[in-house]
A and B are shown apart, each in its own frame.
Chain A
């Protein structure tokens, strides 16, 4: 038997309308064996529909935070709540996109995009691996079209470009209709024009679906473009969340605004001070 014994929180909350937080960490502490805690008594909230960027130097715990939010790691103490429920396993409505190597190398683009649906069919709507209510069948073709992959759907990941691979990963995740999208440096291995194109596309898709977005990055410009709020992490232990507001993120042409430049400067200084 696993951690199911926990509490009533695995069941839907009786007052779903009350929940405005998509993510809440309560006294989150996370320690790798015998090291300084990466997070110590860390309290942080993300409201539904917000776009967050998590920015920090290597080794600050950005990726760990994302894995905690994805239900792939568990707190040493404290709790991570997503949509009001304590995470015990990856949540079916959360989408995760990693920097690289997330696609099955032995499956075509189309088979990769279908993978999430096939896994859901594999288990049926059991509420653990898939949402408990049966979902409408997903139009894979629509997503292939939308992300410009229709002409490449029978190719294998090794045959397409890095940008196309990340488009495939995005299509695969969004085809599952997530309400929370977690991204770990998703564009950092791409060249600049491809990166900007995919950043804009992600913002567009996020706005359409009203997704909550948490994107982890070490690139100041990416944080400034993607995050309406920016969580700045420093060297461990992280205790108090350092949050910078960036309300204009996501607006067309924001990259050329003076506010954007000023924010980048500010972030650069604060990051330098944190290391």
Chain B
């Protein structure tokens, strides 16, 4: 028996054990809990990096829980995409946890256990190969996120949190209805087995199957934040404490990941009468989400809401890309997913550091003043000639550079990875398949991707001027708060430098997604008698 074959389940079991162990530690000994958390997350990150390198050698790792043959029991499936997502969640978790240790974990009780359970749910959702097991991990993730969104209490959080909880509970019921309809028609819940059985569904049952798939889809796009099902999202993300909001950046990506996985597995090319089911909805819905996000970014009166709407732009772009269902677009979209998630997460962490130095309500005043074209009443700077030569404190310089990095990444300007991502996405989109002309929707999508970058850069520049230049009070920032932001941005820089190998990996991942035959064959291969998992 080889220990490394059990590595697949480590990203789920380690946070579970760590979270459970923390409950035995007294709440007042936060630093011990934090230490356990850091150790667990580092272990998960190391395990997932190992999984990433294993996934690269093109064999699919199937972990049979209890060693039952595939269609009868739950399997965990590791392929390139799930390995990538697990690594991404590990990176975000480490950054967010280190940041939280500076002060935010003290804002309420049980921050650390909830955080571990959130990671467990997210990783489980990425790794599972079973539809109902996916529901269970979704619920683990959501239950932990309900607790985390309320962390720190306060009226705004309770109000936003209540809407968040009700919307997501309702989505869970839709998920259950969808799962049971799919089960009623096909008689299986294993994703690979479903892919085999969907093309064989009798014409009379097809409508039921599509109704079930549509219900499932609605549950996922509520999670991913497609307009008009995303009205709860900006309030909830902006109200959550910064490290939690940074981690929530990946929750919308869980929805996107599941949509990519299920739609291509069940309704990809060559799946019979239902091929391409729902693709148009994703494309148009995603485009509507980009527009909504753009308007929101331009209208946002504080930076946290701006970041929340940036999350919407990112998931709108990804959903629309999933709706085009073409390999080249998917590969670009995956690059965009990684880059935009890291950038949004860094922005959520950065905002609070920048805002710390400002007077309460200053940002709303600034925006209102700009809107009314009112002259600045206290223009002391004009008389104060001496200000020209004042050196910028190192903290402000770091904050400013990080803010600039986030803006460049989110807007997709060269030279950072945001540009590479959008370039890959657009070149995939504008490359006509089989020499055919480009459709109008493809042009519209391409235009929206570029326009959303413009909207983001306008909004970020405005916020940056107000936040960093308006008043010179230097916020007190600790190194363990600055380091996670810098690390996330440095990762984006590395992503730019190493764009070639990363892109090759992602192209292979997209290729595998679009040709589910291998996935199905590997999962459903009969277990050798007597073989250990």
Decide if A and B are genuine partners: no
Interface residues of chain A, those whose CB is within 8 Å of chain B, are none
Seen from chain B, the residues whose Cβ lies within 8 Å of a Cβ on chain A are none
